[in-house]
């Protein structure tokens, strides 16, 4: 399964030939995880395998961070489900899941297909076909500066798109969540304990 979060907005086309070949090889070789975005947190080792000019590199598990991440990745479904623990919120899942994967040390592959927020390529590619691109448009549930480029494009579209642009701009200007609500306040453990004790003693 291809995991792509809803706040990662595409800004360039996607080449279907790359994905057709990728899916075929993933099924044939029983690949469990192929990361598809470039990031400095990954250290990779070149292989002889290329798809559309992109090297299908191996992740150096020991030297890399965030082996478990919620960025765009092709997963074998059962392997992904095995990494998801019910009591872990997304950020904790990435941290603790990475520790578990470092111990397990599975084969994790990587391709520079998507440029994430303008990141440079990790691997030694061979004149690859044009990379696709996306921007993460939110941070802690609220729209960030990356959303502005998409709002500007929507403003020149249909009336429905213009209305959506106005809605998004309001959310951006007022630091609201994606659906227009106030961002939930986060309390750390110390604050929660202090609140609990003050209520108990009152």
pLDDT, tens digit, for every residue of 99-140?
Answer: 999 999 999 999 999 999 989 999 999 999 889 999 999 887
pLDDT at 179: 73
Q: First vs last Cα of the chain: how many Å apart?
A: 52
pLDDT beyond 90 at 85: yes
Q: What share of the chain is helix, strand, coil (3-state, %, to 5)?
A: 35, 20, 45
Q: Is a pLDDT exceeding 60 seen at residue 43?
A: yes
pLDDT at 198 over 80: no
Asked if 130 contacts 85 with a C-beta cutoff of 8 angstroms, the reply is no
Answer yes or no: are the C-beta atoms of 43 and 60 closer than 8 Å. yes
pLDDT at 201 over 80: no
Task: Residue 79: name the closest of 49, 37, 109 by CA.
Answer: 109
Element (H, E) at 192: helix 189-201
Average pLDDT over residues 73-84: 97
The pLDDT, as a whole number, for residue 176 is: 86
* Rounded mean pLDDT, 5-9: 91
Q: Provide the residue count of the chain.
A: 202
Q: Is the pLDDT of residue 98 over 60?
A: yes
- What is the tens place of the pLDDT at every residue in 47-75? 999 999 999 999 999 999 999 999 999 99
Mean pLDDT of 165-180: 89
Q: Whose CA is closest to 31, among 15, 7, 47, 12?
A: 47
Higher per-residue pLDDT: 201 or 28: 28
Higher model confidence: residue 201 or residue 55? 55
pLDDT digits (tens, 9 = 90+) for 145-169: 999 999 999 999 999 999 999 999 9
pLDDT at 202 > cutoff 80: no
pTM: 0.84
What's the pLDDT at 174?
A: 92
């Amino acid at each position: 399964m291809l995991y792509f979060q809803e706040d990662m907005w595409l800004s360039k086309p996607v080449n279907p030939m790359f994905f057709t070949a990728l899916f075929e090889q993933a099924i044939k070789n029983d690949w469990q995880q192929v990361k598809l975005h470039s990031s400095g947190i990954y250290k990779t080792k070149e292989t002889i395998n290329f798809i559309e000019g992109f090297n299908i590199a191996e992740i150096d598990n020991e030297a890399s961070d965030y082996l478990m991440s919620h960025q765009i990745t092709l997963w074998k479904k059962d392997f992904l489900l095995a990494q998801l623990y019910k009591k872990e919120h997304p950020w904790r899942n990435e941290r603790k899941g990475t520790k578990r994967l470092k111990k397990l040390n599975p084969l994790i592959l990587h391709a520079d297909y998507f440029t994430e927020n303008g990141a440079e390529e990790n691997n030694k590619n061979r004149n690859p076909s044009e990379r696709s691109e996306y921007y993460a448009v939110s941070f802690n549930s609220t729209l960030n500066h990356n959303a502005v480029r998409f709002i500007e494009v929507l403003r020149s579209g249909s009336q429905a798109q213009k209305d959506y642009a106005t809605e998004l701009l309001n959310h951006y200007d007022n630091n609201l969540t994606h659906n227009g609500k106030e961002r939930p306040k986060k309390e750390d453990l110390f604050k929660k304990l202090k609140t609990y004790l003050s209520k108990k003693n009152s």
